[in-house]
Amino acid sequence: MATLAKTIKSHRTKLSAVAAILFILFSGPTPKSLLIGLPFIIAGEAVRMWSSGHINKSSVLAVRGPYSLSRNPLYVGSFILGSGFMVAMADPRVTAVFFLFFGFVYWFTIRWEESKLSRLFPDQWATYSCRVPKVLPLRRIPEYRKGEFLWSQVFRNREHANAAAVVLVYVILWLKAVF
């Protein structure tokens, strides 16, 4: 199970790129669906950007900023972003596959990453994982702990490349809807 989780985590960007291409090919966007999906796309990328500016991967356990509310805010942002694209693509079949794909990939990814973080930061992890929910605060909202947002960290984490890909996919969908 650990090997499968690590393999999926290691290749999730490639898997996501292939899935995005297939989703675009089979989608049926309209100008209206693209406009309705746009606020979710922007919100999802904003959450990802905010999260990327607070994380220094594998060297310090991120516990402030968005990480004080969710242990996986990047993936929350990805889900919002992806859901916005599903609205924009306007195809229930594509949407169903997205939800299955996202759940499968990120269930394994989160499992592998949390196992790794518990080994890297055993003392901090025990306290943090008890205080902060894995994904969304459904029972109670944890105390927000302000952190330092750094644009340099956003670039180090290559979130600018993800934002560029988001814009590119949106433009491709718009062209598909118009022509």
Is the pLDDT reported for residue 2 higher than 70? no
* Confidence at 8, pLDDT banded by 50, 70, 90: confident
Is the pLDDT reported for residue 69 higher than 70? yes
| pLDDT > 90 fraction of the chain, expressed in percent and rounded | 82
Question: What's the average model confidence in pLDDT over 10-39?
Answer: 93
Cα torsion 50, 149, 60, 71: sign: negative
Domain ranges for the chain? 18-91+117-178
Q: What is the chain's mean pLDDT, rounded? A: 93
Question: What's the average model confidence in pLDDT over 92-108?
Answer: 94
Q: pLDDT tens for residues 117-149?
A: 999 999 999 999 999 999 998 888 889 999 999
* Confidence at 1, pLDDT banded by 50, 70, 90: low
Residue 19 contacts by C-beta under 8 Å, 6 or more apart in sequence? 97, 98, 101
* Confidence at 48, pLDDT banded by 50, 70, 90: very high
* Confidence at 85, pLDDT banded by 50, 70, 90: very high
Question: What's the average model confidence in pLDDT over 68-89?
Answer: 97
Residue 50 has, within 13 A of its CA and on its CB side, a CA count of 21
